[in-house]
Amino acid sequence: MANAAAQAAGVATGQSVASALALLPQLLLFERDAADEAAALHGAALAALRFTPSIVLKADGFLAEVSASERLFGGRDALLQALLRSVRQTGLNVAVDWAGTPAAAWLLARHAAIGSMPAAAPEAFAARLDELPLGLLEQAQSHHDTLRGVGCRTIGDVRRLPRAGLGRRFGAALLQEIDRAHGRQPDPQVWLLAPERFEARLELLARIDTVEALLVAVQRLMAQLAGWLGARHAALSGLTLTLIHDGRRDQQATRVPIRLAEPVADIDHLNSLLRERLGRVPLVAPVDQIVLSVDDLVTRGAASLELFASAQSEATGISRLIEKLVARLGPEAVQRVQPLADHRPERALHLCSAEAAPPAIRQSVHALRPAWLLERPTPLRTRQHKPVFDGPLRLLAGPERIEAGWWDDALATRDYFIAENRAGQLLWVYAERQVLGKDAVWYLQGLFG
């Protein structure tokens, strides 16, 4: 095979290496690597799993049964365009065609030009098969010269020969291959199964030392991840991008973890987080390999298309905002309030990383709580044995008794009240229970909105 520059110099498929070098002495030669080709093809097939679970992996391509997915993706043409975009993101050029049987689609695609689109509907494949060159039939390879000797150049020429004589002379396998292509014989397929664990590796053609170029390479792995998640009907809550420098996989590799507030299967959102996160990662050395792996996976149900926004969709929006802030600013810059199992208000909450999973604490207190707690309770003056804050306070609700802390030498014995001052502001106040009465000491704990 030769690229466009070599072909312009006269290099063509089928030439010997000596002839090619005579035409173009500076020609660069690369040996085929079957393992790399198989890995690249498997990655492209994984990306296609996003559009259909029925993928058949071949030696130099794959088949996709898409009739059941057409409505989901907006019709046959829209589905084909989306599938091709996804496969091209993995770095491969595509020759594509379609037909009503797997064998016919495979024959037509092998004859199609790179980048061309199918011109006819899949149902009109029978007549097109007859026009294909005879060399595309696997069972005709060993009889190619003999068939050409009797005037057969296309598959249609072979079909027009007497079947009985054709079978006796060339064997039943040739007739069976043609019959499978036309749908006259069953053609069972072995579907590709998505692996249990996702880890995709990409060896770069050249060293990369910029984040922008790195993001382009990462898209090839993200396309595979999208197909894998679709096939597994799953979402992820964590993934790691590993940047390998100079081929060394030791401690010098740079690991870029992404942790999510909730499981996500949206590749566009994951791409956005990776872009933000990589923008903060210094490249200590040029990168020549990248590895993308999924850390935490959860099974998800079918997507729900909502007419009106629900509490779940609003919570998802908040979670994605938090994830983007963490990716851009770092985990130490974004914190969340986490409840603790303690009845004392000043000890019932503490700040933690926004990425930390909230504990499963059952809230047993159903009383009203203010939105704003003071950092420390503020002592209040009293007038005629009643608390004062911008005027005498009127107690509206209470007491709510809290007695806790005997286990850590910070005993709190309090009676809480909701109070109102003369401006109509609602306050959360308490009195120490052991001195409740004439000499009670009152404190302001919080303010209601």
Shared domain check, 178 and 50: yes
Is residue 128's pLDDT more than 60?
yes
Residue of higher predicted confidence among 180 and 355: 180
Dist CA 175 CA 183 (whole Å):
12
Lowest mean pLDDT among 39-53, 146-160, 261-275: 261-275
pLDDT bin (cut points 50, 70, 90) of residue 306 is very low
Shared domain check, 172 and 103: yes
Shared domain check, 112 and 222: no
What token pair was written down for 276?
């933000």
Lowest mean pLDDT among 146-155, 236-245, 328-337: 328-337
Name the DSSP letter for residue 290. E
Using the 3D structure, point to which of 182, 207, 226 is the last residue of a domain: 182
Overall average pLDDT of the 35-55 stretch: 91
Confirm whether 337 is domain-assigned: no
Task: Report pLDDT for 305.
Answer: 45
Contact 369, 351 (CB under 8 A): no
Overall average pLDDT of the 387-401 stretch: 85
Q: Which residues contact 159 (CB under 8 A, 6 or more apart)?
A: 130, 178
Is residue 234's pLDDT more than 60?
yes
Shared domain check, 109 and 23: no
Confirm whether 190 is domain-assigned: no
Task: Report pLDDT for 184.
Answer: 92
Most confident of 109-113, 312-316, 443-447: 109-113
Structural domain total, the chain? 4
Three-state secondary-structure class, residue 136: helix
Length of the chain: 449
Confirm whether 361 is domain-assigned: no
Is residue 24's pLDDT more than 50?
yes
What token pair was written down for 162?
């007497």
Contact 161, 152 (CB under 8 A): yes
Sign of CA dihedral 432, 436, 439, 445: positive
Nearest Cα neighbor of 345 from 447, 433, 445 is: 445
Task: Report pLDDT for 317.
Answer: 63
- Please tell me whether the peptide bond between 331 and the residue prior to it is cis, using omega within 30 degrees of 0: no
Confirm whether 360 is domain-assigned: no
Contact 214, 277 (CB under 8 A): no
DSSP string for residues in 19-40: HHHHH-TT-------HHHHHHH
Shared domain check, 71 and 12: no
Lowest mean pLDDT among 12-16, 207-211, 230-234, 327-331: 327-331
Dist CA 278 CA 328 (whole Å):
9
pLDDT bin (cut points 50, 70, 90) of residue 364 is low
Domain limits at 26? 1-30
Shared domain check, 74 and 17: no
Specify the long-range contacts of residues 325-334, CB closer than 8 Å, at least 24 apart.
325/354, 326/259, 326/354, 326/355, 327/258, 327/272, 327/273, 327/274, 327/276, 327/277, 327/280, 328/276, 328/279, 328/280, 330/280, 331/259, 331/355
Task: Report pLDDT for 251.
Answer: 57
Residue of higher predicted confidence among 179 and 341: 179
Confirm whether 321 is domain-assigned: no
User: 289 to each of 206, 220, 273, how far by Cα in Å?
Assistant: 9, 13, 20
Q: Where are the beta strands (DSSP E) in 50-181?
A: 55-57, 62-64
Shared domain check, 281 and 248: yes
Confirm whether 344 is domain-assigned: no
Overall average pLDDT of the 254-266 stretch: 83
Shared domain check, 157 and 56: yes
Overall average pLDDT of the 311-323 stretch: 60
Contact 11, 20 (CB under 8 A): yes
Confirm whether 313 is domain-assigned: no
Lowest mean pLDDT among 134-138, 165-169, 405-409, 441-445: 405-409
Contact 75, 51 (CB under 8 A): no
Shared domain check, 144 and 46: yes
Is residue 349's pLDDT more than 80?
no
Confirm whether 348 is domain-assigned: no
**What are 157-175's pLDDT values in tens digits?**
999 989 888 888 888 999 9
Is residue 416's pLDDT more than 60?
yes
Three-state secondary-structure class, residue 332: helix
Q: Mean pLDDT for the chain?
A: 83
Is residue 315's pLDDT more than 70?
no
Shared domain check, 54 and 26: no
Phi/psi at 404 (5° precision): -155, 165
Task: Tell me the CB-side half-sphere exposure of residue 20, using CA atoms within 13 A.
Answer: 18
Shared domain check, 74 and 164: yes
Shared domain check, 432 and 390: yes
Phi/psi at 282 (5° precision): -75, 130
